[in-house]
Structure 1
Amino acid sequence: MNESGLTQRRSPGLTRRGFLLGVGSTALLSGCATSATSGPVKQAAGAVTVQSNLSSAQAKVAIEALAKAFSDRGGAAATVNTVASEAFRTQLPSYLTSATPPDTYTWYPGSILAGYARKGLLLDVGDVWQTMGSYSDTFRKLSGDGTGKLVFVPTTYYWWGFFYRKSNFAKWGVRAPASWSEFLALCETLKAKGVEPIGIGAGGNTPWTASAWFDYLNIRVNGAQYHRDLLAGKSRFDDPRVVKVFEQWRTALPYFDSRGTAIAFQDATTSLLQGRTGMVLTGTFFTDAAPKDVLDDLDFFQFPVLDPAVPVAEEGPTDGFFASSKTAHLDATKEWLKYVATAEAQELYIKNSSGTALPTHPGAKDAGTPLVAKGRKMLQDAKDLTQFFNRDSSDALQPTADAALIRFIQKPQELTSILTEWQAAAQKVWAE
């Protein structure tokens, strides 16, 4: 696919999908909300309600700026209701099935949306797509429900990598590695200096962060297509090829933050920014909770290539909006979706956020910083893109990964039973 210079040779598919994050999400930082609420949805008369999980400080400012700009145009108006991301994820089914659901939502495409669409809960936005111009075929595929209906409007995407502070690496006299052996040597050096080499933050309500390690190791060891097939139930978690993933991971475990499965992701990134941790494998969403004065000090390096024979893939999750099929403001909701799909809107969002997201509109400009240029190039050069564990599988499969991966980090000697039990738990999900 081509969009704003990004080339993806294979669509991530619809078997899936993620956080993050969204992680992933994404996954955005639920612990960073300053005015988020998990209370009742507040419907403004005549206005489109935007139910938002963008609760980290700068992302919240950005979505509110978008709603204001939309409203200031005259005609339809929008009001934002912000909910901390993990609460949003839990409450999403209730939002969609309530008698008076919010009109539109920030989230990500994939299997979870396809499931809601099959239940008739999502608005068909095919006519919105007719106004969106030359969006890539890959974004169109990501936005479908698997039956040909479009139910999502993508607005941004982002990359993952090992993030660190340039000033800290300079202070410690180290540099970004170019191979796995160099990566382990870097970790050893940092550990000798009294620095926790690798932060993870898989405690509290963010155990999903461990999935980034599984995703990347699997796509480096076995390739992106095998990864998607595994998450779709076409292979087994106790397969010898998966065992190889964990054998590789085991070599890095001595360098993980000893508190990694006890503290939440927000604490892990705070430790990174304050110089107590050397690096964190994460997506750029974490920068929306970082002080603006440290953004220029952030850099990242690519997850090292492990086997040159395996085509290099990267995680490149997509975010955007979907809408309720029961919206009470149908015309205004579609106007909102058309607006967020424009280059103008996406550039406004990026300007008011940390500026590390990439716009999906082919004509929209990104922030143009060296960090963003480097991230965009890494995605451009990738032979394939994945999204994130639950985005490439399902939210129902994510807890099985959380349990298995956290246990592995804590008790790697129990790998055989971990994988046996993971396969059994996953089999129940796939059978539903």
Structure 2
Amino acid sequence: MNTLTSTPSTPGSRRQFLAGAGAIGAAALMSGCVTSSSSSGGGSSSNGGGTVTLQSNLSSPQAKSAMQDLVAAFNKRGKVKAGLNTVASETFRTQLPTYLTSANPPDLLTWYPGSVADTYARKNLLLDVSDIWTRPELSGYSDALKKLCTSSAGHKVFVPASYYWWGVFYKKSNFAKWGVQEPTTWDEFLALCETIKGKGVHPIGLGAGGGTAWVASAWFDYLNIRVNGAQYHRDLLAGRHRFDDPEVHKVFDTWSQALPYFDPNGTALAFQDATTALLNNRTGMMLIGTFFADAAPKDQLGDLDFFRFPIIDPKVPAAEEGPTDGYFASARTHRADEVKELMSWLATAEAQEIYLKGSSGTALPTNPQAKDAGTPLVKKGRALIEGAADVTQFFNRDSSDALQPTADTALTKFLARPKEVTSILTTWQRDAQKIWSQ
């Protein structure tokens, strides 16, 4: 696992750093999770040539449509053609190891860089694409982003396309109607929850059911980086601390203070349904990444806003979650040259702007020459990441896909039976140790 070794010390230098790094924080290799299912196109050949198969987990309606636009634009360019296979995100996540070890795998796949990609690279499952990083299409990317896309063996195995931020989202019209303001501290947040509860609305939506249990990990991530700091968090996920340590107990003690304000259906609804609950005023707020907007009607995006996850200990530098998304290729592809042509194009400003235009537009492009949507929401999100003391990814991205199910199990048990937290953390440590020992 690689680490970045320098942190910009001023807002200006941080902006310059992030412009090419896709929001990569200091001393961090970054990489959360995103979503339904369909197939369009695709071809197979064992002798090179033919259609490059792009396996995508971006299956919410707008994201899927944007990916279709992207492939259509590429196919107009020349000899190399691509076919898109869209797979429900949770199915994709569980099947990814199978995809990569298949004798006839998808050629190119959407997923995450950093620790997650390196896990597969160390098993010799990812195509070495170091040569395309010398091409003009990737010449503007920063050293920090290059490190993020480099395996522990020193090979480039990833091409980044976008990054996004997490925040506590709400409807501006509701906050105005309730006469409330964005909180900045944990105490202010709890007071806000009490006010919203008094309006007959569940203050906090979740969306950790229906196959998206991983959403609960956002609460663990943010509470841990607010209570113990980003470096402790990364060390914990790497197995250098224990899930049953006193520091982790403190995280859950803090979380318990907010549990009375969670939607009781939070672990029964998938995040898409939890998004609908927020938009339909059944919940007041939701900690989520901007990908949720791809499941929201575009005419409601203008009413959405967010605030930074509240500060709990002002002595702990305020880190943020800023996951990077993009592509890696199977080492077993039979059309490596064609795959590299597609990956090179996906790194361009042209390609990234096509995707942003077709989707909700709430992601940020990694190509420093690409333009984002420029909306007030996007500007605020970019400022959040650029002003962060550090930037982490999501739970599985800072650890591994294999560790994510242990979090899903532990956190959903905690939400259902918070008084059993001691035994839950003991079991979590045991299950995590099995993963770390492999």
Tell me if both proteins adopt one fold, taking TM over 0.5 as the criterion: yes
Secondary structure, aligned partner of 2:38: coil
In structure 2, what is the Cα distance between the partners aligned to 1:109 and 1:277?
Answer: 33
Q: Does 1:349 align with 2:350?
A: no
Match of 1:49 among 50, 53, 56: 53
The residue that corresponds to 1:275 in the other structure is 281
| Structure 2 residue aligned with 1:4 | 19
Q: Distance in 1 between matches of 2:181 and 2:97?
A: 45
How many Å apart are 1:366 and its aligned residue?
Answer: 0.6
Query: Does 2:62 align with 1:62?
Result: no
Q: Which of 256, 261, 275 is the aligned partner of 2:262?
A: 256
State the Cα deviation string for residues 196-226 of structure 1 (Å, max 9, x = none).
1001111221111111000000000110000
Residue pair 2:166, 2:287 contacting (<8 A) in 1 also = yes
Q: Contact 1:111 / 1:393 at 8 angstroms: preserved in 2? A: yes
Give secondary structure in 1 for the equivalent of 2:188. Answer: helix
Aligned with 2:422 (options 405, 416, 419): 416
The yes-or-no answer on 1:129 pairing with 2:130 is no
2:413 aligned with 1:407, yes or no? yes
CA deviation after TM superposition for structure 1 residue 87, in Å: 0.8
Residue 375 of structure 2 corresponds to residue 334 of structure 1? no
Q: Which residue in 2 is equivalent to 1:228?
A: 234
For 2:114, the equivalent position in structure 1 comes to 110
Map 1:84-103 to 2 at 5 A: 84-103=88-107
Deviation, structure 1 residue 316:
0.4
1:278-297 aligned at under 5 Å gives the runs 278-297=284-303
Q: CA deviation at 1:40?
A: 11
TM-score scaled by length of structure 2: 0.91
Aligned to 2:246: 240
Q: 1: distance between equivalents of 2:103 and 2:300? A: 44
Task: Give the secondary structure class of the aligned counterpart of 1:328.
Answer: coil
Structure-2 separation of matches of 1:8 and 1:129: 18
State the one-letter code of the partner of 1:396: A
Question: What are structure 1's unaligned runs of at least 5 residues?
Answer: 22-26
The aligned amino acid for 1:3 is L
Change (3 A) 1:42 1:277: farther
**Could you tell me how far apart the structure 2 residues matched to 1:46 and 1:281 are?**
43
The one-letter code matched in structure 1 to 2:423 is S
Q: Distance in 2 between matches of 1:364 and 1:137?
A: 18
Q: Structure 1 pair 218/85, CA: closer, same or farther in 2 (3 Å)?
A: same
Deviations 1:18-65 (A, max 9, x none): xx21xxxxx2x3xxx3x525x997538722111111100111111111
Higher alpha-carbon deviation: 418-427 or 384-393:
418-427
1:385-404 aligned at under 5 Å gives the runs 385-404=391-410
CA distance in structure 1 between the aligned counterparts of 2:366 and 2:42, rounded to whole angstroms: 29
User: What CA distance in whole angstroms lies between the structure 2 residues aligned with 1:351 and 1:72?
Assistant: 18
In structure 2, what is the Cα distance between the partners aligned to 1:136 and 1:80?
29
Matches within 5 A, 1:131-280: 131=135, 132-280=138-286
Contact 1:109–1:319 (Cα < 8 Å) also in 2: yes
Partner of 2:38: 36
Give the Cα–Cα distance (whole angstroms) in 1 for the partners of residues 393 and 29 of structure 2. Answer: 9
Q: CA deviation at 1:166?
A: 1.1
Structure 1 residues 391 and 75: alpha-carbon distance in aligned structure 2, compared to 1, 3 A threshold: same
Mean Cα deviation higher: 41-50 or 406-415: 41-50
Q: Which stretch shifts more, 321-330 or 160-169?
A: 321-330
SS in 2 for 1:163: strand
What is the DSSP-based 3-state SS (H/G/I as helix, E as strand, rest coil) of the residue aligned with 2:154? coil
3-state SS, counterpart of residue 154 of structure 1: strand
What is aligned with 1:303? 309
What SS is found at the alignment partner of 2:84? strand
Paired residues, what number?
417
What CA distance in whole angstroms lies between the structure 2 residues aligned with 1:137 and 1:13? 13
Give the Cα separation in 2 of the matches to 1:57 and 1:40: 17
Return the letter of the residue paired with 1:43.
Answer: S
- What amino acid does structure 2 have at the position aligned with 1:172? W
> What secondary structure, in the 3-state scheme, does the structure 2 residue paired with 1:299 have?
strand
- 1:5-20 to 2 correspondence within 5 Å? 8=24, 10-13=26-29, 20=32
Query: What SS does structure 2 have at the residue aligned with 1:3?
Result: helix
Q: Secondary structure at the match of 2:292?
A: helix
- 41-50 or 173-182: bigger deviation: 41-50
Cα distance in 1 for residues equivalent to 2:18 and 2:82: 28
SS in 1 for 2:139: coil
Unpaired segments of 5 or more residues in structure 2? 1-13
Q: CA contact under 8 A between 2:42 and 2:52: conserved in structure 1?
A: no
Take 2:337 and 2:89, find their aligned partners in 1: how far apart are those partners?
Answer: 27
Aligned-residue identity in percent: 64
Asked if 1:79 is matched to 2:80, the reply is no
Q: Assess if the C-alpha contact under 8 Å between 2:43 and 2:51 holds in 1.
A: no
- SS of 1:73's partner is coil
- For 2:329 and 2:184, locate their aligned partners in 1 and report how far apart those are by CA, in whole Å: 43
Work out the CA distance in 2 between the residues paired with 1:381 and 1:238: 32
2: CA distance, partners of 1:194 / 1:428: 44
Work out the CA distance in 2 between the residues paired with 1:123 and 1:224: 31
Q: Which residue is equivalent to 2:8?
A: none
Secondary structure of the 1:50 match is: strand
C-alpha offsets along residues 372-406 of structure 1, whole Å, 9 cap, x if unaligned?
A: 00000000000111101111111221111112111
Counterparts of 2:367 and 2:388, CA distance in 1: 20
> Could you say if the C-alpha distance between residues 213 and 366 of structure 1 is closer, same or farther in structure 2, counting changes exceeding 3 Å?
same
Instruction: Supply the distance in 2 between the matched residues of 1:325 and 1:238 (Cα, whole angstroms).
Output: 38
For the aligned residue pairs, the C-alpha RMSD in angstroms reads 1.8
* Cα distance in structure 1, aligned partners of 2:262 and 2:38: 31
Moved more, 203-212 or 109-118: 109-118
Q: Distance in 2 between matches of 1:7 and 1:332?
A: 29
User: Contact (CA 8 Å) 1:237, 1:422: kept in 2 or not?
Assistant: yes
Query: Aligned partners of 2:143, 2:119: CA distance in 1, in Å?
Result: 21
Q: What does residue 24 of structure 1 align with? A: none
CA distance in 2, matches of 1:260, 1:271: 10
Q: In 2, distance between residues paired with 1:110 and 1:156?
A: 14
